[in-house]
Chains A and B, each alone.
Chain A
Amino acid sequence: MERRQKLLSYLVVGPFAIVLAFPFYWMLMTSLRSDNDLYDIQQVPFKFNADSPTLANYRFLFEQTDYRLWLQNTVIVGVVVVGITLVLALPAGYALARLSGRWGQSVGVGIFLTYLVPPTLLFLPLSRVVSDLNLNDRLWSLIVVYPSFTVPFSTWLLMGFFKTIPPELEDAALVDGASRLSALVRVVFPLSIPGILTVVIFSFSLVFNEFIYALTFISNSETRTVSSAVPTELIRGDVFYWGALMAATLIPAIPLALLYNAFLNRFIAGFTGGAFR
């Protein structure tokens, strides 16, 4: 019985895993091939042929394009946005979990619902505001706007995490004469570090994912982020650098996926914890 069930799991998950992961396998294969190999229609594309495997595409990407700059821009925006997000979402998430009664529940759900308002509804008016404020082509435009989707999402997650920490721990600190703020900093936050890390990682990956704001606000290569730069700057008219393109898509995807996988269980707990308990 047990054995059969396990076998069934392999039979279901195996094929799905192959199909779902195939594009990434293909990106890896393509990124390691030479141009002679890649553009020879007679060759079998599933194995390495002339001059392959090679790291030439990666070298091209880092030496001949602005790729390093785009990665750097994305990381800068990501770090600042995560900082802003924590400053706004930590107190809000805590207050919604602990200090507010019924109205807090409504505010929490209200904040979460704003996460459903998509950037595709807001990018047109925001593009005008950004250019009126002379923020075009500056990373500042993204740093200011991105928290609008990371804060609702993070507040919701953190609210779920704080609810799982027993209130008696703070009460004990309060009885010992600590102020609420120091109880928060000394007792609650250390216990919530896994939750906070989860929020950091998922906010960061949302920044890496964002496309439409970056596409409309920024139009010069030097200040683009990875997501908007690769489909625009590396695809110029009919000139495609397919090997380098695939390397460019693979480099951010793998570390992000590893982090995702490591924090997935906590993410699920927080995401559903607010609503399903």
Chain B
Amino acid sequence: MAASRRRWQDTLEERRFLAPLLIAPAVLFIGLLVGVPLVLAIYLSLTDATAGSLTGDFVGLRNYLDAWDDPTFRRALKNTIIFTVVSQAIVLLCAGFLAHALVRNFRGKWLLRFLVLLPWAAPVALSTVGFLWIFHSLYSVVNWTLVHDIVPGSPAFYPYKAINWAFARDFWPGFIQISPIEPIDPPQWLGEPHLAMAAIILIHAWRIIPFATVIFIAGLASLPPEIDDAALVDGATGLRKFWYVTFPLQLPIALVALLFGIVFTATDITVVQVLTQGGPFNSTQILTTWAYATGINGAALGEGAAISLYLLPPLAFVAILMLWFARKVEVT
């Protein structure tokens, strides 16, 4: 009895057995709850399953083709790309500046960093409800500020006049030029397609900026201080130093932040679902909300699955890019 227990313990000590034993539960669990549903989603997308059943007749690629032929789907695909690309461009720019400023030590840094981090720490569904109020059709604080004299006691300064002066002119190409803002009829942020798209992009940028900043700071902090000295000796300062020294060294980690930002934005459903539910008139529909509308509200489970699976190839591409970077960083 004692001998067999001894042997059992020896076996346990052996790395060859212990390592798989410790890893297996996590891998099995993930396989069961990510792998199986993913396969199930692919299977469903090839059938005509409706809500209420997990099976259906095999219909080949018809769901994918039907989805593709729907103008709303095209719109959703286009919006997904626009929202992701534009918001991530804003994020990279802002996070770059913020990270360079926050990596230094200064008084009050803790408080400022806390304020900067708030958008990322707060649950997205809830902060989006906050934006519903900020962009409200009657009580929007943005509109109030636009159409009121905001420098009290001075000759009137109305922000909307400045904006009209700058942007409501033929000089600009169509996507920048705006029609003049009327104080009587201020912008309906969530009721007008282009403004609703702008609002969604801004909210996405707003919530990802802190995340990207944090990753950038980690990258900046990991640069050895000798690099600063070496750059100084070589006479590289300011912009030149940034372009030739900091930027190339920062590139891998910046790209990781960017890839995560892309995944978080492109696959998100919360912001659009809470803010506009794809409206007005399906103009802000994205792939995920359209899949929800089709698969849950419309009860076309198979087609809904097909719509969401259009996200899989880009995701796989991002995953491969990440692996490639991880390997590259490891080698150097």
Contact = CB atoms under 8 A, between A and B. Distances in A.
Contacts of B252: 276
A227 B123 contact: yes
Interface string B91-125: 00010011011101010001011111111111111
A34 interface: no
B128 A257 contact: no
Query: Chain B: interface residue count, which band?
Result: 35 or more
Given A9-B104, A124-B44, A155-B26, A117 B38 contact: yes
B117 A211 contact: no
Given A92-B27, A148-B33, A261-B117, A23 B315 contact: no
Contacts of B311: 118, 120-121
Interface in A250-269: 252-253, 256-261, 264, 267-269
Given A41-B139, A88-B25, A122 B37 contact: yes
Contacts of B214: 264, 267-268
B274 A231 contact: yes
B77 interface: no
A189 B159 CA distance: 58
A239 interface: no
Contacts of A116: 263, 315, 318-319, 322
B141 interface: yes
B138 interface: yes
Contacts of B322: 113, 116
A77 interface: no
Question: Which residue of A17, A124, A253 has the most chain B CB atoms within 10 A of its CB atom?
Answer: A124
Nearest to B210: A20
Contact of A125 (B41, B125, B270): B41
Nearest to A147: B29
A144 B114 CA distance: 33
B118 A257 contact: yes
Contacts of B274: 211, 231
A145 B119 CA distance: 25
Chain B interface helix/strand/loop/mixed:
helix
B217 interface: yes
Interface string B27-59: 101100111011011001000000101100000
A187 to B, nearest CB: 15
A113 to B, nearest CB: 5
B301 A20 contact: no
Contact of A109 (B15, B139, B288, B326): B326
Nearest to A181: B12
B308 A124 contact: yes
28 contacts: A6-B106, A10-B106, A16-B98, A20-B115, A21-B115, A26-B141, A27-B130, A39-B139, A91-B25, A92-B23, A104-B23, A124-B291, A124-B295, A148-B34, A179-B12, A211-B269, A211-B274, A226-B126, A231-B125, A249-B122, A257-B121, A258-B114, A261-B114, A272-B222, A275-B326, A275-B329, A276-B253, A276-B329
B134 interface: yes
B133 interface: yes
B123 A208 contact: yes
B129 interface: yes
Given A95-B22, A205-B121, A230-B129, A16 B104 contact: no
B246 interface: no
A121 B329 CA distance: 30
B267 interface: yes
A45 B98 contact: no
B263 A118 contact: yes
Interface in A210-261: 211-212, 215-216, 226-228, 230-231, 235, 242, 245-246, 248-249, 252-253, 256-261
Contacts of B144: 45
B235 to A, nearest CB: 16
A121 B308 contact: yes
B268 interface: yes
Contacts of A123: 292
B37 A253 contact: no
Contact of A272 (B114, B123, B253): B253
A96 B134 CA distance: 47
A180 B12 contact: yes
B218 interface: yes
Interface string A172-187: 0000000111000000
Nearest to A90: B22
B182 interface: no
Contacts of A41: 138-139
Interface stretch (A48-56, A58-66, A126-134, A192-200): A126-134
Interface in B278-332: 288, 291-292, 295-296, 301, 304-305, 308-309, 311-312, 315, 318-319, 322-323, 325-326, 329
Interface in A107-164: 107, 109, 111, 113-114, 116-118, 120-129, 132, 144-145, 147-148, 151-152, 155
A117 B268 CA distance: 12
Contacts of B129: 230-231, 235, 245, 248-249
Contacts of A230: 125-126, 129
Nearest to A16: B98
Contacts of A152: 30, 34
Interface string A19-34: 0110110110010000
Most chain B CB atoms below 10 A, which of A6, A23, A30 = A23
